Amino acid sequence: MTTAARIVVLPGDGIGPEVTSAARRVLDAAASRGGIALDYVDDVVGGAAVDAYGVALRPQTLRLCKTADAILFGAVGGPKWDDAAPDSKLRPGSALLGLRKGLGLFANLRPVRVDASMVATSALRPERVRDVDLLVVRELTGGLYFSRPKRRYTTARGEAAVDTMRYSTPEIERVAVRAFELARQRRSKLCSVDKANVLETSRSWRAVVSRVGQRYPDVACSHMLVDAFAMDLLRRPQAYDVVLTENLFGDILSDEASMLAGALGMLPSASLGAGTAGLYEPIHGSAPDIAGKGVANPIGAILSAALLLRWSLNRDDAAQAIEGAVSRVLAAGLRTADTVRDGETPVGTAAIADAIVNALP
């Protein structure tokens, strides 16, 4: 008898619970069709945890996640908790940072695929986005967001502030290895993005990535400066397969890349560490403006569940079953309000999830 995979479910705030419940329904159906046993454990994070327990991430939640095979995460945050200080444990977003740091999730993966039937929804012209299929791999636990010193202080000449960008070779190496491994499973092309003409950390990044690349002679490795890449991503996004970059550049570029697909609600993400356990979440936030209305697009969350099957449970077949079902439902013209075109009638969150369950092979 095989043991069931342990999935910790953290729906969070706003539309988090709605899209997570839709994703769980699809995950359940795909797992049962694929003979995969899942054992769910539910917990509370973000603003919901602040309200219930006075802290966005409880130590026992982190401990629970450390025992999980994967975490299915919704979204956190909302105006109710916006007044908490930036570094406070009362900030819903601190739950995500705590999970990433506490679980050592150093690689953030954001696949951007523009489904054939969604080409018209993109912010770019159809010929620019047709067949886009790229994967941004962003370093998630180092660089400018975490390095010390990081503070504001007063000098004789007034206020000053400092952030620090530091990367060690092992930090660069481990995310580069992950990106090269992923490139191998795709079209074997990797573009590393840096600012090596100005930054020492980038010169180090480029040297380490090149060195790791020598271990992957079957993967074509190139390097680009971040400013040139930001332009080229809009000019010829089809040219890219795996894009590897550090934390700050990745934060910005992955949002830019997501606009190729047209709507925030469509895109999934994964955060992985050294093992196979990972955290899977749609790229969007808690969307307080539409929370509780049953209209949120659950496809980003549903595709995150597909990534969970692929990268944490090693079941590419079940992941593809979900991705295929999503494509078929989109091809049939079903859309939530964020992606309908003129004259089309939107359907709700639950209806899209039902249709995807029914479209599973």
The mark string for 245-264 relative to ligand NAD (x by CB under 6 A, - otherwise) is -------------------x
Q: In 3D, which of 355, 334, 294 has the Cα closest to residue 17? A: 294
255 is catalytic: yes
- Active-site position among 167, 195, 216, 241: 195
Task: State which amino acid sits at residue 127.
Answer: E
251 is catalytic: yes
- Active-site position among 28, 145, 232, 354: 145
Q: Considering the complex, what minimum distance in angstroms separates the CB of residue 9 from ligand NAD?
A: 14
Burial of 128 (0-12, 13-18, 19+ CB in 10 A): middle
- Number of chain residues interacting with ligand NAD (CB under 6 A): 22
227 is catalytic: yes
Restricted to residues 286-325, the positions that interact with ligand NAD (CB under 6 A) are: 286-290, 296-297, 300
Burial of 97 (0-12, 13-18, 19+ CB in 10 A): middle
CB 269 within 8 A of CB 283: yes
- Active-site position among 39, 51, 82, 255: 255
207 SS3 class: helix
Stretch touching ligand NAD by CB under 6 A, among 169-177, 192-200, 283-291, 311-319 = 283-291
338 counts as binding ligand NAD under rule CB under 6 A: yes
Q: Considering the complex, what minimum distance in angstroms separates the CB of residue 51 from ligand NAD?
A: 14
Spatial distance between the Cα atoms of 171 and 205, rounded to a whole number of angstroms? 10
Looking at the Cβ atoms of 30 and 96, the one nearer to ligand NAD is 96
Q: Considering the complex, what minimum distance in angstroms separates the CB of residue 72 from ligand NAD?
A: 13
Question: Which pairing describes strands 133-139 and 242-245: parallel, antiparallel, or unpaired?
Answer: parallel
> Could you say which of 76, 242, 243, 321 contacts ligand NAD (CB under 6 A)?
76
Q: What's the longest Cα–Cα distance across the chain? A: 70
Spatial distance between the Cα atoms of 114 and 123, rounded to a whole number of angstroms? 11
194 is catalytic: no
Here the tokens at position 169 are: 């070779």
96 counts as binding ligand NAD under rule CB under 6 A: yes
Point out which residues bind ligand NAD (CB under 6 A). 15, 19, 75-78, 93, 96, 264-265, 281, 284-290, 296-297, 300, 338
